[in-house]
Copies of this chain bind each other. A is one copy, B any other.
Amino acid sequence: METIAIGIDIGGMLDAVLGLTACLVDAAGGADSVAGIGVGTPGFVDEKGIVTGRAVNLPGWEGTRLGESIARRFGRCATVTNDANAMTLAEARFGAGRGVRNLVCYTLGTGIGGGIVAKGKLYTGSNGMAGEFGHVSIDPEGVKCACGQMGCVERYASARGIVRSARELCAAENVEETPFVRMVRSSGEAATSRQVYDFVNAGDPVARRVNDVVCDRLARAVGITINMLAPDLVVLGGGVMMAGPVIVDSVRNHLPRYTLPELLAGCSVVAAQLGEEAGVIGAGALVFEEVLRFDA
């Protein structure tokens, strides 16, 4: 969805979404061949299918009557949910969580989002806002978050949080000057989490320490999720997971300190399987779920 948004004002963005949907409906053989239209969007979606706050990268998108607009335009039912919920549903139905009854999914991207499947069904909470794992505080004395809270895990383990953690560690006076440290110091704000993980995977000792700090903090939030929800599975997905198995491995290593042993024994932590397609697959799968639905 964010790709579509580039350079489009928000009034035009709904039109763009409707236009793209029209192309897809045509490609499927027309509206009569379509069971329904599922949509994942940044932000929350209330019970009227209206986007509410938190679509931070799409200012103005808030208030869009997404469900109703699509249902009316195409004469087909429309289902709408948060994009992280859509990813979670995709992993639950077709990805890492196939056949699993209770699972949670962390989406590690620019920020951190998440979703919950409880008793085999997507659980979205009041006004579609459940699964805000990025804003689980893992340190009440920690870094201030834009949301107003302190120590949100998003500040440490999202793509931006990883870069911040790297810069912090590399700014320390007593750190050895590895190639990674030189890269981070010279790149400044332009460094990316992908660069950090290239060095982690190449074995740079300081980069590995950054990964350790990041995954320790991520494990605190994951541990709290496990203690609260006793899921069978935690799926870690999102762009940051392109780094490969090192993140899942490190989170697993740290988890025993942050979880009740009985709960950890019943819960696996794995990487997502569907990559960047997960959101689209999940949005499509929504149509066949018991969720918020807008009839044409």
Contacts and interface: CB of A to CB of B under 8 A. Distances in A.
A29 interface: no
Given A54-B262, A118-B118, A137-B224, A127 B230 contact: yes
A107 interface: no
Contact of A125 (B132, B140, B230): B230
A210 B2 CA distance: 48
A123 B133 contact: no
Given A147-B260, A149-B258, A130 B228 contact: yes
A53 B262 contact: yes
Given A140-B220, A228-B132, A260 B121 contact: no
Size category, A interface: 35 or more
Interface string A138-162: 1110000001111000000000000
A263 interface: yes
A44 interface: yes
A270 to B, nearest CB: 15
A150 to B, nearest CB: 8
A118 B126 contact: no
Nearest to A54: B262
Nearest to A52: B262
Nearest to A139: B140
A278 interface: no
A230 B130 contact: yes
A49 interface: no
Interface string A5-38: 0000000000000000000000000000000000
A228 B227 contact: no
A223 interface: yes
Interface in A90-123: 101-102, 116, 118-119, 121, 123
A132 B37 CA distance: 38
Given A129-B230, A228-B225, A230-B125, A138 B140 contact: yes
Contacts of A258: 137, 140, 149
Contacts of A136: 224, 227-228
A284 interface: no
A229 interface: yes
14 contacts: A53-B262, A116-B229, A119-B123, A124-B230, A125-B229, A125-B231, A129-B260, A130-B230, A137-B220, A137-B223, A137-B258, A138-B140, A139-B139, A148-B260
Interface of A: 44, 52-54, 101-102, 116, 118-119, 121, 123-133, 135-140, 147-150, 220, 223-225, 227-232, 256-263, 266-267
Given A133-B228, A139-B139, A140-B258, 8 more contacts: A118-B125, A127-B230, A136-B224, A137-B258, A138-B140, A140-B220, A148-B256, A149-B258
